[in-house]
Amino acid sequence: MPVLQTSFGFSPRVRELPGCAWALLLLLVLFAATASNFLTTGNLLNIASQATLLLLLALPMTFVIMTEGLDLSLGALLSLCTVIFAIVVKSSGSVSAGILACVMIGVLIGALNGSLISMLGIPPFVATLGTMGIATGLALLLSEERELIELGATAQAAWSGIWMGIPLPVWIAAVSYGLFHFLLKHTRFGVSVIALGGNSEALRLAGKRVVPRLTLVYVLAGVYAAIAGVLLAGRINGGNPTAAQGMEFDAIAAVVVGGTHFVKGRGTLFGTLLGVILITVLRNGLNLLGLTASIQVAAIGILVIAALAMESRR
């Protein structure tokens, strides 16, 4: 089995990446041929902006899945942050205050997830299932009897702003990708993420404590859900408690289809990037072909199971 030996210590399995990339290529060709508006600039920009949001969730989710965990609460957290952002901006008029509030909530819930999982050995899906419920309820509560639209130009700037011809969200996504890449390959934290999934005992033997590191992985996810929430609020110009419901599923699917398979700390950020584009393109294309969101979701589910089944056969 040929192994690509890259220079920085973790290699994407050669088999996976091309699989995902070929599938993406196939989809692009397919949709270009069958869907009339697929290749228009407008549509491609649409894909790009959708993908940037998903990428913001999928990047930290990659770390989570590399530690053999799962975070089901990110979609609800994202929605909650749009609500909080809207509330703070409307009441205080300050966008920075809104951002701060969201990040704080992201840190809080991420820390809650992380400590439940790392300190008490609670299975990640249960812990995050619980926090998902809490976040959903909070979002619904806070948005009751409140007008949460019309946040003003500044709030929308993050989403609609353009710098050097490229939309701000794309910049944010690119910088984030760079950040995660940097974390994974050039910092001790990145090494410990791989170790957490591959052999946490090795970390302990090296005298490094598992609890703070694993918690940080989930805090990172929470913070990014918050950032994505701020962006989304800017995009829909308001807060919506169910705005991103189910987005965690797309994020998980993107990570899994991209090649990170809950296996002993093995993972690839580039694969996640491809996975995000693939999922977004798939949704977009199916949409243009008139297939509803529900079919899209079913198709993505099948992809996830197929990817994992192939992993088990190895």
Partner 1 sequence: MSLAIIQDRSVLKHAQAPSEETIGITPQQPVNSIETESVKAPPLIKLCGIGKSFPGVRALQDVSLSLWPGEVHMIMGENGAGKSTLMKVMCGAYKADEGHFEYQGRKVAVRGAADARRLGVAVIFQEYSLVPYLDVAQNIFLGREPMRRIPGLIDHSRTHREAAALLQRLGSDIDTRAIVENLSVAQHQVIEIAKALSQDAKVLVLDEPTAALSVREAEKLFKLVADLREQGVAMAYISHRMDEVFELGDRVSVMRDGKMVTTLAANQATPDELVSLMVGRKVNMNYSRGERPMPGDVVLEVKDLAGTNGLAQASLQVRSREIVGIAGLVGSGRTELVRTIFGADPATSGTIVIRGEPFKGGPADARRKGLALIPEDRKRQGLALEQTVGDNLVSASLPRHFPSSWFSPARADRLAKSKIEQLSIAPARPRKSAGKLSGGNQQKIVIGKWLLDDAELFIFDEPTRGIDVGAKEQIFALMDGLVRQGRSVLMISSEMNEIVRVCDRAYVMKDMRIVGEVSHEQLSEDNLVRLAMGGK
Partner 2 sequence: MNNILVIGSPEARTIALRLFALGVIGLIIGSVAEPFTNAGNLLNILRQASLLFLIASGLTIVIIAGGLDLSIGANVSLSACLAATVIQSSGSLLAGAATALASGLAIGAMNALVICVLRVPAFIATYGMLWIVQGIAYWYMSGTIIHGFPSEVRYIGIGFTAGIPIPVYIMLAFLLLGTLFTQRTTWGRQIYAIGANPTAASLSGIPVNHRVALVYVISGAMSGLAALVFLARLNSAEADLGDSLMLQAVAAVLIGGTSLFGGTGTLAGTLLGCLVLTVVLNGMNLLSISASWQPIVTGAIVIASVLFDAIGRRNR
Residues that bind partner 2 (CB under 8 A): 70, 72, 116, 120-123, 125-127, 129-134, 136-138, 140-141, 144, 246, 249, 252, 256, 262, 291-302, 304-305, 308-309, 312
| Cβ closest to partner 2, residue 45 vs residue 129 | 129
CA distances (Å), origin 184, targets 10, 191, 194, 209, 269:
9, 6, 8, 18, 9
The entry of partner 2, partner 1, none that residue 127 binds, CB within 5 to 8 Å by partner kind: partner 2
The entry of partner 1, partner 2, none that residue 191 binds, CB within 5 to 8 Å by partner kind: partner 1
* Nearest distance from C-beta of residue 293 to partner 2, angstroms: 7
Cα distance between residue 20 and residue 233, in whole Å: 31
* Nearest distance from C-beta of residue 80 to partner 2, angstroms: 11
The entry of partner 1, partner 2, none that residue 100 binds, CB within 5 to 8 Å by partner kind: none
The entry of partner 2, partner 1, none that residue 79 binds, CB within 5 to 8 Å by partner kind: none
- CB-CB contact of 303 with 297 (8 Å): no
Element (H, E) at 166: strand 166-167
Question: Which of 16, 61, 44, 7 is closest to 176 using CA atoms?
Answer: 61
| Cβ closest to partner 1, residue 9 vs residue 152 | 9
| Cβ closest to partner 2, residue 280 vs residue 296 | 296
**The two structure tokens encoding residue 65:** 């899945």
* Nearest distance from C-beta of residue 178 to partner 2, angstroms: 29
Residue 192, CB-side half-sphere exposure with 13 Å CA sphere: 18
- CB-CB contact of 257 with 275 (8 Å): yes
| Cβ closest to partner 1, residue 164 vs residue 314 | 314
Provide the binding-site residues for partner 1, judged by CB under 8 A: 3, 5-11, 186-188, 191-192, 194-195, 198-199, 201-203, 205-208, 264-267
The entry of partner 2, partner 1, none that residue 298 binds, CB within 5 to 8 Å by partner kind: partner 2
* Nearest distance from C-beta of residue 229 to partner 1, angstroms: 27
> Which amino acid would we find at residue 115?
S
* Nearest distance from C-beta of residue 213 to partner 1, angstroms: 11
3-state secondary structure 67-84: CCCCCCCHHHHHHHHHHH
Element (H, E) at 167: strand 166-167
Dihedrals φ, ψ of 163, to 5°?
-130, 125
* Nearest distance from C-beta of residue 297 to partner 2, angstroms: 4
